[in-house]
Amino acid sequence: MFIDLKAKTFNISEELLEVSYPNAPTLLTGLKALSIASKELRVRFYNNADNLLRCDYRVMKAEDTDVLDVLKDILHPLPEKIQKFALELHQRYIDIGMTCVIIYDDAVHFAYSYIKNSRRVLSTRDIYQLRVWEFALSVKYGYCLVVRAKKTDKYADVIEKFPLYLQEKIAQGYGCDRKLRNERCQGGCQGIRIPLDDSILEMKRDIEIWLDNEMPGSLKT
């Protein structure tokens, strides 16, 4: 059977397709177990994403996994200084009372929300919808810090002290790229996207100040 790897779709309903991996015979068994576990155990969000590349082996664990452990695993390919920055940012906002949830769709999201004043029980999806900022990893955008800044008019004097690059990103705001700037979709509706690369290390303190000013008044550090 010939499969055109460049085709968007192909139909194998009438063909018998056998796949093997001689160098590691148990690999496919493991992938099958992972896909079954993901299908039966994983909570799905947005478009019922069922891409095997998004499966997490932790769905087969009996006990819950600590968010910090997952974040460490996701960040592992990055340079040590960037990992350290991201983990410190995570801990900083957990310590002041934010909640972090993990969402898998066409990307991996570590979303941070403040929900202690909520009067109802919130689902993971509810918490994600209330996010102030997140770490996101996707094939399209790579590793990013994504901020849903909504209070910038209240601390314009603070923003003026930020590096020019960060000032410009904040000034652009976030929302539908087509509606705001008549541009193609670049995921602008998700928030203001800052790549997690060496350049972010030069803005470490500015990022913290920015996020602090997006917190409820009583949480500013």
- Would the pLDDT of 56 be above 60? yes
Residue 113 backbone class (left: φ over 0; alpha: ψ -120 to 50; beta: rest): beta
Please, what sign has the CA dihedral across residues 168, 173, 178, 182? negative
User: What is the helix (H) or strand (E) element at residue 113, kind and residue range?
Assistant: strand 107-113
The reported pTM is 0.76
Which of 15-24, 43-52, 107-116, 160-169 has the weakest average pLDDT?
Answer: 43-52
Q: How confident is the model at residue 104 (pLDDT cuts 50, 70, 90)?
A: confident
For position 218, what pLDDT does the model report?
A: 44
Integer distance in angstroms from the first to the last C-alpha of the chain? 62
The mean predicted confidence, pLDDT, of the chain is: 82
Q: What is the mean pLDDT of residues 35-55?
A: 57
Proportion of the chain above pLDDT 70, given as a percent: 72
Render the burial of 130-148: b for 16+ CB within 10 Å, e for the rest: bbbbbbbbeeeeebbbbbb
Sole residue written with tokens 């910038």: 152
